[in-house]
A and B are shown apart, each in its own frame.
Chain A
Amino acid sequence: MNINPNSKLKNNFWRDVRFWRIAMQIGVLGLLAIAILILWDNLDYNLEQRGIELGFDFLRSQASFEIGEKPIPYTPADSYLLALLLGLLNSLRVMVAGIILTTIVGVSMGIARLSDNWLVRNLSLIYVETFRNTPLLVQLLFWYLAIFLGAAKTAGKIQLFGFISLTGNGLEIFGIVLSPEFGALLIGLTCYTGAFIAEIVRAGIQSVPRGQWEAARSLGLKPSLAMRLVIFPQALRVIIPPLTSQYLNLAKNSSLASAIGYPDVYFVASTTFNQTGRVVEVMLLLIGTYLTISLSIAGGMNLLNRYVQIKER
């Protein structure tokens, strides 16, 4: 302590609020570090008690299990790392396709909910209420066992619009064959998430003041043009933030894939930790992977959100 008897008026540093602000931050940070250290130490100790060591060296050893769907070349002689990467690609495949499709389905259904046509309005209402109020896992199993496998077995081949056909080997669109597992997962995720997006879109459109409709009409715009040029751009401001969380839900829900036999990253990770016993490491990898994917989606959507917000002119 540096007390100068000659200048009692001079403030001591602990009387300075700025010092305390910083000190508190450091204190909380320190306690957080201690908490994490204790947890880590505890984990380390308990693993040691059971004779398990932590480390990521196992990723380089041979995976020696087959994976059903291979967007990149892979054999069981390759490493766990490549197997996990393959799983990640499979996950991303379904996530990207799912987000695109579910946006189309959701937006059309959301607009249909407000249609002047009684049939269209009520059909979309039935769609929303059915898919929103039943569990996703049940829906996935329904799509997989009842539609993809069941219908294909009884009917042999189902044709839709000429370019989509459903057989026992999967879904064929324009000559591209999708496996029943991928098809069921994609359609299941799309329909489930689409129902939520439809509600978000409906709410977004309804949040635009009535006066905007009237103004658009008085300019002589047709209802379809009014929707496209006046109402929807304004509704987007309300739609995008909740839409982001639906995209995140879709991405995370894709981990239900292993229920219907689609080899996504979660499935490959499960097999990996079963064969190697590296539960903690694999779970950390998995959390890191999903976190990265989710944060990227959220980041992209935030950029989009900034773009559609009202600009100060």
Chain B
Amino acid sequence: MRKWSSLLVALMLAILPLAACRQRTEKAGKQTVSRLDTVKQRGKLICGVSGELPGFSFVSSDGKFAGLDVDVCRAVAAAVFDNPNAVEFRKLNAKERFTALQSGEIDLLSRNTSWTLSRGTSVGLEFAPVVFYDGQGIMVRKDSGIKSLEQLKDKSICTQIGTTNEQNLSDQMRQRNIPYKLVVFEDINIAYATYVEGRCQGVTSDRSQLLSRRSTLPKPEEHLILDTVISKEPLAPAVAKGDAKWHDVVQWSVYSLIGAEELGITSQNVSEMASNPNPEIKRFLGTEGELGTGMGLTNDFAVRIVKHVGNYGEVYDRNLGSKTSFNLPRGLNNQWSKGGLLYSPPFR
């Protein structure tokens, strides 16, 4: 008897917090507390990155995170806090990333993630503008003599789990009727190690990633990235669905990077630009209009971004462009006025 009643009490005690849990989420749901308020209250942004990809996100020699994806996080932190270092970076693998965002563990996912329809709908992500237009490629050993997809017939190809790459390659090979063997790994480092060991004749990923990983291989000059581009991979930061306010902040932080380059505003001249008579620049810098406060930020949010992080061109040059060993041409990642795809809607 006594045993039973103590079990009863224990169960009741266990259920009480559960009931409270439901009430709390209900309350939160009704008031629709935006991520923006959560982030402001916390005093720092929690940003999900890869951390394994030089040029996009990597711990540099001075112990700090650096890269294009990292700078997107810093731009959002600069817009909210006027401090590009108010970011906590979480390293996520390809498989963990969406769950981390859905469960609210991170505020922003900036981890070379391809924007696709199903990720926008069934996975529950809301994408911000594309920060890097990429495409999937294949890397092979130079001495293998492989130049095209057809030559990969009956060969093994390595890749990482949880990416769009598995599906793209399957589509391409099926379409061309080329049999091959796919070897998929949980850990990106093991995938490349296996390729180096010779288990796979090719390794497939986004071309930017191949380029970046090639620089970390024992002998980069022995490997060749095929010219064939087998997919479109628009890499974009993402937030959880259903929070328009927070999405706006992230979206316009990215557009600020792009817009600043178009308007010719750089981290060097941003303070001089304040006296520029051009009304477009004035609105961008927040000296005219109330664009920032309407979003829950200050009016000079774009100034903060450019001052601390620079414009898109500066970010690109610093991480992937001529100032780096990658020396990757801008290509599609140039302003629309220069033959690229970057286009910021007007700040008005």
Chain A nearest CB from B114 CB (Å) reads: 12
- A67→B4 CA distance, assembly (Å): 52
Per DSSP, chain B at the interface is: helix
Among the 9-residue stretches A37-45, A126-134, A236-244, A291-299, the one with 4 or more Cβ atoms under 8 Å from chain B is: A37-45
| A65→B167 contact, CB < 8 A | yes
Closest to B22 in A: A42
| A41→B124 contact, CB < 8 A | no
Report B-chain residues with C-beta under 8 Å of the C-beta of A64. Answer: 167, 170-171
A50-B186 in contact given A64-B170, A261-B194 (Cβ < 8 Å): no
Q: Does A212 contact B (CB under 8 A)?
A: no
Q: Does A145 contact B (CB under 8 A)?
A: yes
| A153→B95 contact, CB < 8 A | no
B4, B174, B194, B241: the one contacting A76 at CB < 8 Å is B174
- A181→B46 CA distance, assembly (Å): 37
| B174→A75 contact, CB < 8 A | yes
The range of chain B's interface size is 35 or more
Q: Does B161 contact A (CB under 8 A)?
A: yes
Report A-chain residues with C-beta under 8 Å of the C-beta of B174. Answer: 75-77
A261-B183 in contact given A52-B122, A271-B162 (Cβ < 8 Å): yes
A275-B11 in contact given A149-B194, A259-B186 (Cβ < 8 Å): no
Q: Does A123 contact B (CB under 8 A)?
A: no
- A244→B210 CA distance, assembly (Å): 46
Report A-chain residues with C-beta under 8 Å of the C-beta of B94. Answer: 274
A38, A75, A180: the one contacting B18 at CB < 8 Å is A38
| B102→A50 contact, CB < 8 A | yes
Report B-chain residues with C-beta under 8 Å of the C-beta of A267. Answer: 161, 184, 186
- A27→B10 CA distance, assembly (Å): 13
Q: Does A310 contact B (CB under 8 A)?
A: no
Residue-wise interface mask of B (20-40) relative to A, using a CB-CB cutoff of 8 A (1 in contact, 0 not):
011001100100000000000
- A153→B195 CA distance, assembly (Å): 12
Chain B nearest CB from A170 CB (Å) reads: 10
Report B-chain residues with C-beta under 8 Å of the C-beta of A145. Answer: 190, 193-194, 197
| A20→B1 contact, CB < 8 A | yes
Closest to B162 in A: A274
Q: Does A24 contact B (CB under 8 A)?
A: yes
| B197→A49 contact, CB < 8 A | no
A168-B170 in contact given A31-B12, A258-B161 (Cβ < 8 Å): no
Closest to A27 in B: B8
A49-B29 in contact given A258-B161, A258-B184, A274-B161 (Cβ < 8 Å): yes
| B22→A41 contact, CB < 8 A | yes
Interface residues of A in 218-263 (CB under 8 A from B): 258-261, 263
Interface size on A, residues (CB 8 A): 50
Report B-chain residues with C-beta under 8 Å of the C-beta of A305. Answer: none
Chain B nearest CB from A47 CB (Å) reads: 9
Report A-chain residues with C-beta under 8 Å of the C-beta of B25. Answer: 42, 45-46, 49
- A54→B116 CA distance, assembly (Å): 21
A180-B199 in contact given A46-B25, A263-B184 (Cβ < 8 Å): yes
- A42→B26 CA distance, assembly (Å): 9
| B95→A270 contact, CB < 8 A | yes
Per DSSP, chain A at the interface is: helix
Q: Does A66 contact B (CB under 8 A)?
A: yes
Q: Does A120 contact B (CB under 8 A)?
A: no
- A162→B167 CA distance, assembly (Å): 41
Closest to A277 in B: B123
A65-B170 in contact given A24-B8, A277-B122, A278-B122 (Cβ < 8 Å): yes
Q: Does A150 contact B (CB under 8 A)?
A: yes
- A309→B182 CA distance, assembly (Å): 48
Q: Does B169 contact A (CB under 8 A)?
A: yes
Interface residues of A in 184-200 (CB under 8 A from B): none
| A34→B170 contact, CB < 8 A | no
Q: Does A28 contact B (CB under 8 A)?
A: yes
- A270→B174 CA distance, assembly (Å): 22
| A149→B124 contact, CB < 8 A | no
Report B-chain residues with C-beta under 8 Å of the C-beta of A41. Answer: 22
A150-B18 in contact given A260-B185, A261-B185, A274-B162 (Cβ < 8 Å): no
B8, B14, B29, B186: the one contacting A258 at CB < 8 Å is B186
Residue-wise interface mask of B (180-208) relative to A, using a CB-CB cutoff of 8 A (1 in contact, 0 not):
11111111001101100111000000000
Closest to B169 in A: A66
A31-B8 in contact given A51-B124, A68-B184, A271-B161 (Cβ < 8 Å): yes
Q: Does A97 contact B (CB under 8 A)?
A: no
| A42→B122 contact, CB < 8 A | no
Enumerate 22 A-B pairs (CB-CB under 8 Å) in ascending A order. Answer: A28-B8, A32-B11, A35-B18, A42-B25, A45-B29, A52-B122, A64-B171, A65-B166, A65-B167, A65-B170, A68-B182, A141-B190, A149-B199, A258-B161, A258-B184, A258-B186, A267-B161, A271-B161, A274-B94, A274-B162, A275-B118, A279-B99
Q: Which 3 A-B pairs have the closest CB atoms?
A: A277-B123, A149-B197, A76-B170
Q: Which residues of A contact B (CB under 8 A)?
A: 17, 20, 24, 27-28, 31-32, 34-35, 38-39, 41-42, 45-46, 49-52, 64-68, 75-77, 141, 144-145, 149-150, 153, 168, 180-181, 258-261, 263, 267, 270-271, 274-279
12 more CB-based (< 8 A) A-B contacts, given A42-B22, A50-B102: A34-B15, A35-B15, A38-B19, A41-B22, A42-B25, A64-B167, A68-B184, A145-B197, A168-B199, A274-B95, A277-B118, A277-B124
